[in-house]
Structure 1
């Protein structure tokens, strides 16, 4: 894991950048990406004192798994995963070399698979797709702390 807190011990926690990143190739990279996310959030909580709910731990790993799986399935070459803490949320970015932008498909109970983007959008506070000079980057954010009632902080229960 390449987790780093820049200027550790020199600036207030809110001013420090907490990140982790890695490149993945092949299907084995999917499990490694989930492990990176889990280890990163464990470090965020243990080493930096930021609260990470069990819900957030699971949702970040789900988002990482879905985005890296799609990148490995549809794009040639490696994919790059970047994790960052920003304003009480984990920001998950996955870059791949495919220029085709994903889209959410219409609901179809008969369809097997291809629900990953729907899942990512459902569990994320934000989800954006950006075309890059080469390929694309999908970025999603998941709130780290839950309200006392168990809902994701800043979200209303439906």
Structure 2
């Protein structure tokens, strides 16, 4: 059965408190989709969505002062997170450096995303990230347990 598209859009102040507000909105949106629309949302998907929202809104707050528009959309088996800000500059992803303190946000987002996209728009940019709603299948590492032993 295919879930219908569910969407919410919010305009955030761009102030520091909007980061926690955005995480809460994302958690509420996925919880409502699960309880009201029977959309399967794993605890992992809920946590990753809050992490992605936090990182994207934090970057907008730090590098693009002003209002931030966040849209959450459930499309089939994924949640799509879009964050728009007023800076018409592509974010730079730095090379991996385990000794660097901070500035790992986009690395983290790209590592957990099914899809990551940046679109420049006339009034700024939109970053869109898709996250799977279900957990990935567990890897079995190619091993099988003996038939006489319980796992």
Do they superpose with TM above 0.5?
yes
Matches of 1:146 and 1:137 in 2, distance apart? 26
Kept after mapping to 2: 8 A contact 1:13/1:48: no
Higher relative contact order (CA 8 A, sep 6+): 2
Aligned residues: 139
Kept after mapping to 1: 8 A contact 2:57/2:68: yes
TM-score normalised by length of structure 1 = 0.83
**Larger Cα-atom Rg:** 2
TM-score normalised by length of structure 2 = 0.86
Q: Which ranges of structure 1 fall in alignment gaps of 5 or more residues?
A: 1-11, 152-156
Is it true that 1:21 corresponds to 2:9 in the alignment? yes
Q: Which ranges of structure 2 fall in alignment gaps of 5 or more residues?
A: 142-151
Pairwise CA RMSD of aligned residues?
1.7
Q: Note the C-alpha offset of 1:100.
A: 1.3
Kept after mapping to 2: 8 A contact 1:74/1:98: yes
Q: Note the C-alpha offset of 1:90.
A: 0.4
